[in-house]
Amino acid sequence: MDDDDDDIPQLSSHTLAALQEFYLEQQQREGIKTSQGFNQYSIGSIEEDWQLSQFWYSDETASCLANEAVVAAGKGGRIACVSAPSVYQKLKEQDGKDFSVCILEYDRRFSVYGEEFIFYDYNQPLNLPENLLPHSFDIVIADPPYLSEECLQKTAETIKYLTKGKILLCTGAIMEEQAAKHLGVKICKFIPKHSRNLANEFRCYVNYASGLD
């Protein structure tokens, strides 16, 4: 045995046990998904990645926002979800209703949704596929990943390019002034919730007469 082996870092028994527990939980989750005939559109089917500033809505909030989008879009309407995958997933659970939806998202894991997935980086707000025509969506739902004016301003460029008029924005309460400035939206009474509690107060904003008041 080489003396150099002594220099190789060793995990403590506590760390090893924690790792084993993590992998076991992961295996159990995958087992549950398989045994239940897992629905790829259910919230949590793709887990949050906090490094990408991802925080999924609660099931109730996602349903409420999805239902609002369907009503606002109208019969045969087109809905765009910009950085709002849990609303997209809820909309897909309503498969068969008379509307269409696409998801614009930076996280390529959502490419499992096929042609409805469009890779989106808010730093390049108008770098969109040619077939994504301007003002071709009846409503755009957006949840900018960061609470900064730069992120909101760039996401706003995308929203204004896509929408025929209606906008449903979800972001922090501290962004109220900037949201009005860049998108002309006003705060709603409805308070969105997340599956995990966030430190920042979160709110919805619209520019039309919605069912969220």
Residues 132-156, mean pLDDT to the nearest whole number = 96
Q: Which residues contact 145 (CB under 8 A, 6 or more apart)?
A: 52, 53, 54, 83, 106, 122, 151
pLDDT mean across residues, the chain: 82
Provide the token pair at 144.
């900018």
Instruction: Characterize 153-182 residue by residue with b for buried, 16 or more Cβ atoms within 10 angstroms of its Cβ, and e for exposed.
Output: bbbbebbbbbbeebbbbbbbeebeebbeeb
C-alpha 108/C-alpha 86 separation (Å) is 15
Judged against a pLDDT cut of 50, whether residue 41 lies above it is answered with no
Q: What's the pTM value of the predicted model, to 2 decimals?
A: 0.76
Radius of gyration of the chain (CA): 20
Residues 19-38, mean pLDDT to the nearest whole number = 48
